Amino acid sequence: MTVLGLARVWALVFSAGWGWAAAQSPEIPQVGSPERGKALLLQRQDSGCVLCHQVQGLPAGGALGPSLVGLPERSTKDQARERIADARRFNPQTIMPAYFSTEGFNNVASAYKGQTILTAQSLEDILSYLFMPASATP
């Protein structure tokens, strides 16, 4: 990832209101890996994406959330990053977990306080899969 690309990621992180979560992790994401992103999308316990969403190139997913097939035609990577990070910013009543936020949670087990569901790298990996050209599906 270029310096400009990293600057854009961190600008988005702090402007989107996840600055505290990002500040908790010294991790600077590298270029996303579509292979790791695919594996994360398929994990039913950790990310759970396919429980609610249809995803291009993956086995049948759920229908509770919107289909992610064709996402690059209707969204930018930055917009998708914001929604995955914390969809509550757009719909406070959403049932989608806040994958990259630690704000607004109550009764969090002490072992998980201050931790996000996804790391910055995992978020970039998922985005790299979702925004990969359909012909390049791993």
d(CA 115, CA 2): 27
What CATH number is given to the structural domain containing 56?
Answer: 1.10.760.10
Domain count, the chain: 1
3-class secondary-structure state, position 27: coil
The helix/strand/coil state of 52 is helix
Q: pLDDT, tens digit, for every residue of 21-74? A: 444 455 677 899 999 999 999 998 888 899 999 999 998 889 999 999 999 999
Q: What is the pTM of this model?
A: 0.76
Q: Do 18 and 88 touch, CB atoms closer than 8 A?
A: no
Give residue 10's domain range. 3-136
Angle at 116 between CA 115 and CA 120, to 5 degrees: 120
Q: How much helix, strand and coil, in percent to the nearest 5, is found in the chain? A: 45, 0, 55
